[in-house]
Amino acid sequence: MNLDLLQKAANQARGLAMDAVHDCASGHLGLPLGCAEIGAVLFGDLLNICPAQPRWLNRDRFILSAGHGSMFLYGWLHLSGFNIGIEDLKGFRHKGSITPGHPEFRDTEGVECTTGPLGQGIANAVGFALSARRAAARFNKPGMDIFTQHIFCLTGDGCLQEGVARESLALAAVLKLDNLILIYDSNDITLDAPAERTQLADPRAVYEALGWDVRQIDGHDLKAIAEAVEAAKNARNGKPQLIIAKTVIGKGIPGIEGTTKGHGEGGAKLQEEAHANWSIPAGERYYVSEDVRSAFTDLKARREEAFNAWNATYEQWRRAYPELAAELDSGICACARGVNPADSDKAIPAFPQDYSDATRSAGAVAINAIAKADPWFLTTSADLYSSNKNYLSGAGDFSAETPEGRNFWFGIREHAMAAICNGIAYDGLFRVSAATFCVFVDYMRAAIRVAALSGLPVTYILTHDSVAVGEDGPTHQPVETVSGLRVIPNLDVIRPADPEETAGAWMAAMQRADGPTALILTRQKVATLNNIPVETRREGVLKGGYVARKEKGTLKAIILASGSELELALKAAEKTGEGIRVVSMPSFFRFDKQSAEYRESVLPSSCAKRVSVEAGVTDLWWKYLGCQGEAVGINRFGFSAPGAQVLDELGMNVDNVVAAVQKVLSK
């Protein structure tokens, strides 16, 4: 390790960051400048990566949780030889560039995950570490260890103060993830003030108490950084590794470094003085010296040699274990391209006609059938397996002692669960689902939003879906929650009506490779709607909406319903005459993506007399109802009483639906 050259590279990386922030008059200089030596040690030596093979299965993963410091990552990826040129750095924060303000998954080669909201990246890193640990347990064989990677995460006070971070770090210790290395950029400054104004705890004591192995170093001492990283990589003590790196925010900018001004772009105007401090020639911009460039070119070649050596072992492993190789390929394929709905349809048997249970119970049948067919499918729970019914029978529990287990116990940590599942999905080896009560999904919302933005195929199992929860009262009755999820772009929210629609919902979830799916399931028993063919119900869910009951004679009105209220709609139609059509609408997201011809066949524009029925707020239904429609729903919070009584008193009954139909017919 040539420390003098690495120091030179660190200062030139500082210059790249300052020049990009200066040119667009926007960005965050503090971390790129304060952590430059950390970047030099990792990207200039100790990260096991291969820029020529950016998605190499066994690469070390580097996650910048403090995503506002994105020029740190872009600069080091550029120097390392990833597909990020000087012109891309000059395009920092400009429309259409591959160097957006915060790192975004799939936009930029070498960026492992989207880290915008603070704390998410830490949880993502835990997800990567879980994925790596399970992959090693499942696929490594004596003399052929194809998964040996470490997960590095660079973070600051902003991430660590977020609750999702503490949830995730506690869980990492419980699961003994010693392949996880967290580097804490401890500069004693937050955006508004010195950190002491908002935090008092000794971080070393805190994280040691949580079960982490902790080292503290000077974050500008290259030798100390390298020794700490090597020690963390070699630790096999069952503890995740924390390196507290004491740094100076905005280092190198006169009058700015070490102050709150160093967090943002305020120091960019002192470009010339800073360049001089870093020995960058006067007048140069985006400067990289020939010796630094040459050293990284040589390093890139050595890293490619290391990849080739690994690849030889990998090909030997594939020949020796063809069934495991096929399983690995199928998992990667499922994450990248989804599962053919026909395959899921075959995996989930038809339910008996006399089946009578909640859709959460039907979901248990479906998820276990899928898991039996697909060994790369995993599930997680926020301490609610017994209520959500998503436990995989016979699949084992994940732990440090049993890392091949497929059931993950996350405790009462919904936010961490969702963000950790994002990390597993980013890694791209396993399909994962996460379960809790529907009303608690708001604890997960930030992570769900990022999953939708990043196109991650995570499935959320959200049970106890309406005021039918009953006695637990309004805090547990999610009247607004389903609609709140439906407004998130690229999130498919599916509320199935019966067991076969639940099977169709799981088929739809497994089909997706470009975004997450939320399955909204009941606690109360629902009828099996045997008057509708099994294929119609399953395939209808894949299309988002379908005709559940066709009118006889002239079409007079349409009742639209989702979930358990479809039964109410069907009964109301029987009471209101032959000209009433009933449409099941389990997924607005999917229905809106169908062709205009299909949507017209289900909801003909010639019939403007429409009624919606759902045990929740009514606002989103109006796009289907028009000015002549009526919405039967619940635009208030509920109350504590038996579920059937709550539903009836809040108008979720057949008589109320019949009255709404008669009202639209009279208009």
Task: List, by residue number, the catalytic residues.
Answer: 414
Cα 361 to the chain's mean position, in Å?
25
CA dist 461 and 466 (Å) reads: 14
Burial of 282 (0-12, 13-18, 19+ CB in 10 A): exposed
* Tokens (6 digits) for 165: 């971070």
CA dist 457 and 451 (Å) reads: 8
* Tokens (6 digits) for 619: 């606002």
Which DSSP symbol is given to 578? T
Cα distances (angstroms) measured from residue 346 to each of 366, 504, 531: 11, 11, 22
**Residues β-bridged to residue 503:** none
DSSP reduced 3-state for 360: helix
| Reduced 3-state DSSP string for 210-269 | HCCEEEEEECCCHHHHHHHHHHHHHCCCCCCEEEEEECCCCCCCCCCCCCHHHCCCHHHH
Annotate 322-352 with b (16+ C-beta within 10 A) or e (fewer): eebbebbeebbebbeebbebeebbebbeebe
Closest CA relative to residue 39, chosen from 72, 4, 70? 72
Angle at 207 between CA 407 and CA 28, to 5 degrees: 95
* Tokens (6 digits) for 521: 């399931």
CA dist 555 and 609 (Å) reads: 10
DSSP reduced 3-state for 291: helix
CA dist 3 and 19 (Å) reads: 24
Q: Are 126 and 420 in contact (CB under 8 A)?
A: yes
Closest CA relative to residue 422, chosen from 120, 191, 186? 120
* Tokens (6 digits) for 642: 């038996």
Sorted by sequence, the CB contacts under 8 Å of residue 530 that are 6+ apart come out as 353
Annotate 116-153 with b (16+ C-beta within 10 A) or e (fewer): bbbbbbbbbbbbbbbbbbbbbebbeeeeeebbebbbbb
Residue type, 44: G
H-state helical runs in 496-533: 499-511
Q: Are 546 and 390 in contact (CB under 8 A)?
A: no
In the block, residue with structure tokens 């106890």: 464
